[in-house]
A and B are shown apart, each in its own frame.
Chain A
Amino acid sequence: MTIETVTAKPDISTNEAPSSRLGRYARPLLGLVLPLGVALAWEIIVWRGLSSGRLMPPPSRIFATLTELAASGELTTHTAATLIRVMSGFGFGVIAGTLLGAISGYWGWARRLLDPTIQALRAIPSLAWVPLFILWLGIFETSKIALIAIGVFFPVYLGVMGAILSVDRKIVEVGRIFRLSGPAMIRRILLPAVLPAYVVALRVGLGLGWMFVVAAELIGASEGLGYLLLDGQQLGKPAQILAAIVVFAILGKTTDRLIEIAFAPLLRWQDTFAQQSGAA
C-alpha cells in the first residue's frame, strides 16, 4: 500500500505540471481558433475560385481596405469621431444613471417618486426619440450624444438601484452595530457591496452605447464608423462595411476589457464561478 502511494504521487505531479503550464498560455488563444479558422477557410474558398467574394470579401481584401483607410488618415478621423461620441454619451449616461439610481435605491420616497416615470420612459424604444432629438438638438453632435446617453442611462440606473436594494440587511446591521455614521455606512458597507453589480451595469451600458452610436451615425453623419457603414452600402463597397465592423468589434471589446481591468483590483474578493474555473 505504501509502495503504491509513493509511486502514484510523482505520476500525478508530472501529469499535472505540463498541462497546467500549457493551459496558462493556450487558454487565451483558444478563443481565437474559431474566428481565425473561419477566416482562413473563407480566404481559401475565394482563392481557389469557389466563390467570387464580391459580396463577402475575403479577409485579405478587408485588411487591404483597412490599411488603405489607415494610410489616407480616414480611419483615424472616423474612429476618433465615433469614440468621442461614445465616450461623451457614456459619460453623461453613467453620471445620470448612477446619480438617479443611487437616489432611488437609497431613499424609498425618491424611488416611489422617480421610478415609475423612469420605468415608463424605459419602455419607449430609444430610437423613437431620434426625430424629437433632431428637432430639439439639431442634426449634429448633441442629438447623437443624447441618444447614446439614453441608451447607457437605463442599464446603469437599473443596475445601481437594484444593487443598492439587494444589499444584504445582515451586512448593514454589522455597520449599525459598529455605529457607522451615514457617510461611513455608504463608504464602508454600501459602496463595496454594490461595486460588482455596478461594474456589470457599466459594461452593459457601454455595450448599448456602442449599439446606439451606430444608430445615431446611420441617421445622419459625415464622419464616424457608422458613416463608413452607410457609405459602403450606398457605394457597394462590402469590404469597407466589414472593415468598419471589424473596427467596431475591436473597439467594443477593448473598452469593455478596460472597464474590467480598471475594477479588477477592487473585486478580487469575489467568490465567483469564473474565478474558480479560471484557477482550475
Chain B
Amino acid sequence: MKKRLVYLDYAATTPVDPRVIAAMEPYWGKFVGNTMSLHSQGMRASAAVEKVREIIARSIGAETEEIVFTGNATESNNLALKGVAEANPLKKKILISSIEHDCVVESAKWLAGKGYEIKEIPVNRDGLIDFEWLGRELTEEVLLVSVIHGNNEVGTIQDIGRIGSLCRAKGVLFHTDASQSFGKVLIDVKEMEIDLLTASSHKIYGPKGVAILYIRNGVAINPILHGGGHEGGVRSSTVNVPAIVGMGKAVEVCQNIRISEGQNIRKLRDKLIKGILDKVEDCWLNGDAKNRLPNNVNISFARVEGEGLLLELDVRGIEVSTGSACSSRSLEPSHVLLAMGLTAPEAHGSIRFSLGRWTTEAEINYVLRVVPEVVAKLRKMSPFKK
C-alpha cells in the first residue's frame, strides 16, 4: 500500500486558504499603518479592519460594533468569563457545561478562586447537555452560562437557541464558544439570544493570531488587557491588521461555499464513520450521530491505547488526535469523554479524525484500509483479549 500524507486534524488547526493568503499579502508591507494613526495609511488600515468587522457581524446577525477582535479564542473565552464577572459584581454564580474547552474550564476555575460559585452542566452519553438540570439550576442568581456550541473533541452540537432563550427569560447572560462551529454551522446571535460568542480564524482556513468575541450591545464587560483603548476600550493592543484581513476573507469564502462544502465533508465524514464501524470490531462513535459538526469523527477502539494508535497512523502518513491520557501533559484522559460517562479505558482508546476543505474520498479510502490493520497490530500486543 503506497503511503500518503493525510491530514485529518483540521479541528486542531487548518491550513490557510490561498485566497486568504492573497488577501493578506499587501498588508504585510505595501499597506503599512497602525489603525490608531491619523494619517492616510492609518486610515486605510482602520478602514480594512472595519470592513472585516462588518463582514463578520453580518455573518452571525450581529451589529458591527458588537464585534471585538482578540488574539485567539482562548483570549476571547477568558475575556467573556473574567470580563463579564468583573463588570457585574453583584452575581457570583456561573454555569459552564462539563465538556468545555480547557480555556473556559481554567477561566472558571480561576474565578472560583476569587469566590465565584461554578457549577457544571452535566451531559448525556452523546454529549448533549441536560436541559432538565439546567431548568432547575438556572435562576436569576446566575450571572453567566457558558456552553460550547460544537464540541472540539466529539463534535456534538448543542441547541444553543434553546439555551439562549432559557437564559434570556431569567435575565442570565449566555456565552457560547463557537470556535469549531463558526463558518460550518449557521449562527444567528439575535434569533438564538446569544449575549457573547467566541469565534476563531485558524479553524476556518484563516491565519492564527486573531479571533473575535461578539458582545451584545448592553452587556457590561471589563477589559482584561489595559492600554491604548483599542476595540472600544475592551481590548487594548495594536490591531493585527493582516490577520484580521485574512479572517475576513476566510469568513467570506466559508459563506460562499458553506452549503456545498458542508455537504461534501459530511458525506466523507459519514463514509469514514460507517467504514470504520463496519470494518473494525469493538469500536463505537463518540458524540451525537445527528447533532454533529460536519467534519468530526471520534471513535473509541476497545483494547487499544490512543497514543499508540496515533503514532502508528502517523507512520502511515495519517495525522489525527486522541483523548488518551498518555498523550496529555496531565496524564488524565479527556475530561469531555469522562463527562459523557465513558470509563477511563474507553477514553484512552479514542481517536479524533477531523476532516476539512481538502479532504478527498481517496484519502478516506486509504484511512479505511489502514485503520483496521493498525488496530489489529496494537490489539495483538495487548494483554487484553476479546
**Physical interaction between A and B:** no
Residues of A that sit less than 8 Å from B by CB: none
Residues of B that sit less than 8 Å from A by CB: none
